[in-house]
């Protein structure tokens, strides 16, 4: 139904995001890797590394189709069928601990019965964006959430509080009792219902995707010139370890890709290049590190 228009949208969004991030970095360029999926479809992976600003980052698009993987068959309690899935997924890891890591993805899925040539028996949108700072700056958190809320409000006043809570609940390291970051939006299975048509969910999802750069770039521009110490970098690498824990233990997309013979290089693109797991790290009371930890254990409402 929305395959072509959504694919065109995510490919254009990938181009725009990569161009703007390269401008900010000023040194590194995205390397492009085109790939095909056994069974149908493929994607366009773009990775930036060892830049003046971005230590590692990836902005990927894919559009794949074929027989339903066993995991999806089990989830939907069916023994047959085909699918089409398209999306954009990105993770950016700056070198500076003063600049937050960011993640976003926006996707569309169609599920078919015995024949992929017929109309889909189900279709939905999903996605979101979330921010992972290493040092808490309230004005950055407010800007990020306010930008996303403004976008949501154009499509319904109930969407931001609903999807913000889903983000807080989802991006949570339950084994640590803390959030991965300061949240944002997370939504899934947005399908036609009595409240909204699939066209309206398409409009919302693409609007949310287009809000990514206005939400993130001003924060980067504000923090990229700030100085930082070896100790602050060490804290960043410890927190990056928690990021890795979430992605490998809890993240549905990562686990799905690993269990369905997905493209490993694209799946693990989200992991930072340098991390550490020091034993029983406890930030000093009253320190900036302790301030961040408190917020991660008790997620806040950043905008009303």
Active site residues: 103
CA 102-209-72 angle, 5° bins: 85
User: Which conformational region is residue 2 in: left (phi greater than 0), alpha (psi within -120 to 50 degrees), or beta?
Assistant: alpha
Place of tokens 């068959």: 73
Q: Tokens for 187?
A: 């939504």
84, 12, 32, 72: which is closest to 266 by C-alpha? 32
* Three state DSSP letters for 1-48: CCHHHHHHHHHHHHHHHHHHHHHHHCCCCCEEEEEECCCCEEEEEEEE
Three-class SS of residue 68?
A: coil
> Which DSSP category does 182 fall into?
S
Strand partners, 111: 83, 122
Place of tokens 């699918």: 83
46, 47, 43: which is closest to 62 by C-alpha? 43
Q: Is the dihedral of CA 11, 17, 20, 21 positive or negative?
A: negative
Q: Tokens for 36?
A: 């095909």
Within 8 A by CB and 6+ apart from 32, the residues are 44, 45, 46
Measured distance CA(185)–CA(35) in Å, rounded: 29
Three-class SS of residue 205?
A: helix
């Amino acid at each position: 139904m929305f395959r072509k228009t959504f694919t065109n949208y995510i490919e254009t969004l990938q181009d725009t995001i990569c161009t703007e991030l390269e401008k900010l970095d000023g040194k590194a360029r995205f390397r492009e890797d085109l790939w095909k999926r056994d069974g149908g479809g493929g994607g366009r992976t773009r990775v930036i590394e060892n830049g003046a600003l971005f230590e590692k980052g990836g902005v990927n698009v894919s559009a794949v189709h074929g027989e339903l993987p066993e995991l999806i068959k089990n989830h939907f309690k069916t023994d047959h069928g085909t699918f089409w899935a398209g999306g954009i997924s990105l993770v950016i890891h700056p070198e500076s601990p003063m600049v937050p890591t960011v993640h976003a993805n926006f996707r569309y899925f169609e599920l078919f019965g015995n024949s992929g040539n017929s109309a889909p028996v189900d279709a939905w949108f999903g996605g979101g964006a979330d921010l992972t700072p290493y040092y808490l700056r309230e004005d950055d958190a407010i800007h990020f959430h306010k930008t996303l809320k403004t976008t949501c409000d154009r499509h319904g006043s109930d969407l931001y509080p609903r999807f913000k809570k889903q983000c807080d609940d989802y991006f949570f390291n339950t084994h640590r009792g803390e959030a991965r970051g300061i949240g944002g939006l997370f939504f899934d299975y947005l399908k036609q219902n009595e409240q909204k048509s699939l066209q309206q969910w398409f409009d919302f999802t693409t609007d949310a995707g287009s809000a990514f750069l206005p939400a993130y770039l001003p924060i980067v521009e504000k923090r990229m010139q700030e100085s930082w110490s070896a100790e602050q970098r060490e804290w960043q690498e410890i927190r990056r370890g928690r990021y890795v824990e979430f992605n490998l233990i809890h993240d549905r997309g990562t686990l799905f890709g690993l269990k369905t013979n997905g493209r490993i290089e694209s799946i693990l693109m989200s992991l930072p290049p340098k991390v550490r797991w020091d034993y029983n790290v406890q930030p000093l009371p009253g320190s900036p590190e302790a301030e961040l930890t408190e917020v991660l254990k008790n997620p806040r409402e950043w905008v009303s």
